[in-house]
Each structure stands twice: as C-alpha cells, then as structure tokens.
Amino acid sequence: MTRTMISAVAATVLLGLGITQAHAADKKVFAVVPKALGVAFYADAEKGCKEEAAKLGAECLFTGPAQLDDAEQGRIVRDLITKKVAGIAIAPNNADSIGNVISAAVAKNIPIVTFDSDAPKSKRAAFIGTNNEAGGEAAGEAFAKALPKGGTYAILTGGLSAANLNERIKGFKSKLNGNFKEVSGSPFACNDDSSTGVQLIQDILAKNPNLDGIFFAGGWPMFAPEAYIRAVKNKAADIKSGKFVIVSFDTLPSQIKLLKEGYATTLIGQRPLAMGIESVKQLDELSKGGKIPPVTDTGVDIVNSSNVDKFVGGK
C-alpha cells in the first residue's frame, strides 16, 4: 500500500470517528432526579424514562441522592446544569429549598419539569404525576368506609416537608368525620426509609394498643415485606378480619402480595412508569421549543381484596 493510499485510509477512518463523535455529542441527555435513589417506588420511573429516551434516540440519566437530603439533591441538580443536560425532571424533596436551583437551570435555558412531587411556586414548566390531594381523598374514603363508626388512627409519612405527601395527608383527613381521632405525634416521618418505617409501625402499635388503623402516605414499610409482617403480627388477625385498617399509597409487587395475603386493607396505586415516560417526552418537547400542559395527572388505581388479582404480577 502506498503512502498516499495509507493517508487516504487514515483520513477516512478519522472522518468516520469524527462523525461518530459528532453524533454522540448531538445525543440529548435528559436527567431524572428522584427524591432518593434507594426508594423502591422510583424503579418504574427509571424504567419509563430510559424506555422513552431510547425511542427518542436520547439518553436518560437517572441520578439523585442516596437518601433524603435537600442540600444533596440541590447539589446534584447544579452539577447537571454545569454538564448542560438537555432537560431535568426532578421530584423535589423540599419544594421551597429547590426553587433557587430550578431558577438557576431556567436561567441557563435548561427546561425543568417536576414529577411525583411538585414545586408549584418555582419556575418549573410543568408537573407530571399523581393528583396527590385527590389520591389522599380516595385513601380517606377507603379508610372511613372500613371504619364506619370512626376510630383512632395514625399516619406514617416520609419527609415532613414533602409537598406531595402533605397533600395526600390533607386529602385523607378531609374525608374523616369527627368520630376519628389522630394519635399524638402523628404524622410519623420515616424519611422514605423502609427500615425506619417498619420500626415506626412497631413503636406506634406498642404505644397505642387501642389504635384502629394506620394510613401510610407512601408504601415504605411494605417494601420490606418480611419485616413488615413481623411488625404487624399482633394485628394480623384483626387486619384480615377488618377490625384493624391499613390503607397505603403505592402498589409495588411486594404490596400487592401483602394485600392478597390479608396484611392490608386498601392500596392507592400510582403510576411511576408513566411519570418516567412523560417526564422525558415533555422535556424533549420543551427542548425543541414546543409547548406542554402545565399539569399531567397520571392517575391512581384503587386496589382491595375485590380486585387485587388483576394487579398480581404487575398491571
């Protein structure tokens, strides 16, 4: 092979590499930031965002703090701004503290949407997720129906500053009449941690022997099913007979199994897969200068013993 031919081949290879690198550089990266990576609920959101990104020829970067941490969530978003991602979807742990970070992204022309939990006073373009107050109302209706004479109850939540959880609690309480009484110290915060949630259940039941039911604003303790069963073992017979009521948000497979086995009364299922899909789809639209609806309600599923079989093995 002559030197001229070698040079021509090398130039062709380099050109090909250049094209490949250019295509890689042109690939949009959409970041999705949950409250915490260790929360089982977000697994389907990650799946949805990656599936939609693949359809668009883009990339979904699913990243967030290891556990609930307002400052760390903000730092991660600021890092994404520095990396100049094409758009960011975030589930704010604290709607107030994340506002400045969202403003910083918008100032750099990086579109922002919120999912699962909202920050309505911020400059985010839209919210994608459950109508949390309406979902809470559905939970309250189920709770009141199961305890027609009223009773004493406790609430388990994640972070006390989480807007979506507080909206659920507000909706839940709105459906309870004067015959219901909340125990002292409620709501109890587990910081979105399953082990803490299980421990809190044990403590609540030990300190309130006459308790009639518990509302979980999220399914955290049920994400650790064996530990959860041990925590409620003294109430197991009453749950199965309807004397003790447990209504919980979310319908993860472990929760569906627990409900079918009689360890819960009603589940209020969200649709995290849809949240992940819509987050990337709407960020892509914004990145092209398009318009999106200010709110996308992904809906809920009400699951109890009458229809649980439809949800076994996933919807």
Looking at the fold, whether 167 and 69 belong to one and the same domain comes out as: no
Q: Residues 142, 220: one domain?
A: yes
Shared domain check, 207 and 231: yes
Domain assignment present for 314: no
Relative to beta strand 213-216, strand 151-157 is parallel
Handedness of CA 218, 223, 227, 230 (dihedral sign): positive
Domain count, the chain: 2
- The verdict on residue 14 lying in a domain is no
pLDDT of residue 39: 85
Per-residue pLDDT of the chain (315 residues; tens, 9 = 90+): 444 444 444 444 344 434 333 344 578 999 999 999 988 889 999 999 999 999 999 999 999 999 889 999 999 999 999 999 999 999 999 999 999 999 999 999 999 999 999 999 999 999 999 999 999 999 999 999 999 999 999 999 999 989 899 999 999 999 999 999 999 999 999 999 999 999 999 999 999 999 999 999 999 999 999 999 999 999 999 999 999 999 999 999 999 999 999 999 999 999 999 999 999 999 999 999 999 999 999 999 999 999 999 998 754
Specify whether 136 is located in the same domain as 249: yes
Predicted pLDDT of residue 144: 98
Distance separating alpha carbons of residues 68 and 227, to the nearest angstrom: 22
pLDDT at 312: 84
169 within a domain of the structure (yes/no)? yes
Residue 286 lies in a domain: yes
225: amino acid identity, one letter: P
DSSP one-letter code for 301: E
User: Do 113 and 87 share a domain, yes or no?
Assistant: yes
Q: How far is CA 117 from CA 101, 124, 131, 192, in A?
A: 16, 12, 10, 13
Q: Phi and psi (nearest 5°) for 168?
A: -65, -45
Burial class (CB in 10 A: 0-12, 13-18, 19+), 90: buried
40, 92: one domain: yes
Q: Which residues constitute the domain of residue 240?
A: 132-269
Give the integer Cα–Cα distance in Å for 68 and 157. Answer: 13
Q: CATH number of the domain at 46, please.
A: 3.40.50.2300
Say whether both 280 and 156 belong to one domain: no
